[in-house]
């Protein structure tokens, strides 16, 4: 638990003092096609019953996932849906903080995020979707839901990014699904609500 508090403290300090290092002076330069940067999300989540029915294993989760993004379209669209599509790859760990610290290490190379952008505001709503894989020992905790150390991951989320010339940070929600695709049963799967803070380097 001390390690988790230390990580959280460092993350918050970086979030409050980090300066945006890109040399983009204008809105169009900042969101030009091909621009890439690093970032990360740190948050807390909990599993829930989906579909409804038999009670699932409850796991409180610390979520630490660094990521890399690349703008693959530049600014596109008109009116309210004007924005840019980003490729995202991420890798990190989900820690069962209230269950003894069991870990599930994840790698999600197939992710996309669409940011709704406007030069008239310093914030951008976004939508996120993607897939990946994980490996860990959560199967020791959720024996009714997952049966293997290797699991597939699905992500579906939304958030708001706030930015100016010096800082970029975000508030995010993610539906986090884990199952093994029928490799071994039981395979009901685990689903979690994840709420996180993010920042971009």
- Integer Cα distance of 15 and 47 in angstroms: 27
Query: How many CB atoms neighbour CB 130 within 10 A?
Result: 20
Q: What is the DSSP string of 127-179?
A: EEEEEEEEEESGGGT-TTT---SEEEEEEEEEEEEEE-SS-EEEEEEEEEEEE
* Eight-state DSSP code of residue 97: T
**pLDDT per residue of the chain (201 residues) written in tens, 0 to 9:** 454 455 455 444 444 444 434 434 577 788 999 999 999 999 999 999 877 766 778 999 999 999 999 999 999 998 889 999 999 999 999 999 998 999 999 999 999 999 999 988 999 999 999 999 999 999 999 998 999 999 999 999 999 999 877 778 999 999 999 999 999 988 889 999 999 999 998
Residues in the chain: 201
- Integer Cα distance of 69 and 75 in angstroms: 15
Mean pLDDT of the chain: 87
- Cα 140 to chain center, whole Å? 24
pLDDT of residue 186: 86
- Cα 122 to chain center, whole Å? 21
Question: 161 near 168, Cβ under 8 Å?
Answer: yes
Question: 85 near 114, Cβ under 8 Å?
Answer: yes
Which residue's entry shows tokens 């860990």?
136
166 φ, ψ to 5°? -120, -20
Report the predicted TM-score, pTM, of the whole model to 2 decimal places: 0.84
- Integer Cα distance of 30 and 36 in angstroms: 10
How is residue 85 written in tokens?
């599509």
Q: Which domains does the chain have, with CATH numbers?
A: 2-200 (2.40.160.20)
Q: Coil, strand, or helix at residue 2?
A: helix
């Amino acid at each position: 638990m001390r390690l988790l508090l230390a990580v959280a403290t460092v993350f918050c300090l970086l979030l409050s003092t980090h300066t945006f290092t890109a040399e983009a002076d204008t809105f169009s330069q900042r969101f030009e096609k091909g621009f890439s940067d690093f970032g990360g999300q740190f948050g807390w989540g909990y599993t829930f019953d989906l579909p409804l029915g038999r009670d699932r294993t409850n796991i409180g989760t610390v979520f630490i996932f660094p990521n890399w993004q690349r703008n693959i379209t530049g600014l596109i669209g008109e009116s309210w849906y004007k924005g840019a599509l980003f490729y995202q790859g991420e890798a990190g760990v989900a820690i069962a903080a209230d269950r003894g610290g069991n870990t599930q290490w994840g790698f999600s190379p197939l992710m996309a995020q669409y940011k709704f952008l406007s030069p008239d505001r310093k914030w951008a709503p976004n939508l996120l979707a993607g897939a990946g894989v994980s490996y860990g020992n959560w199967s020791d905790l959720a024996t009714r839901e997952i049966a293997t150390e290797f699991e597939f991951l699905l992500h579906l989320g939304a958030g708001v990014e706030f930015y100016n010339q010096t800082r970029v940070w975000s508030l995010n929600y993610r539906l986090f699904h884990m199952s093994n695709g029928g490799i071994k049963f039981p395979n009901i799967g685990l689903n979690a609500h994840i709420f996180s803070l993010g920042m971009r380097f």
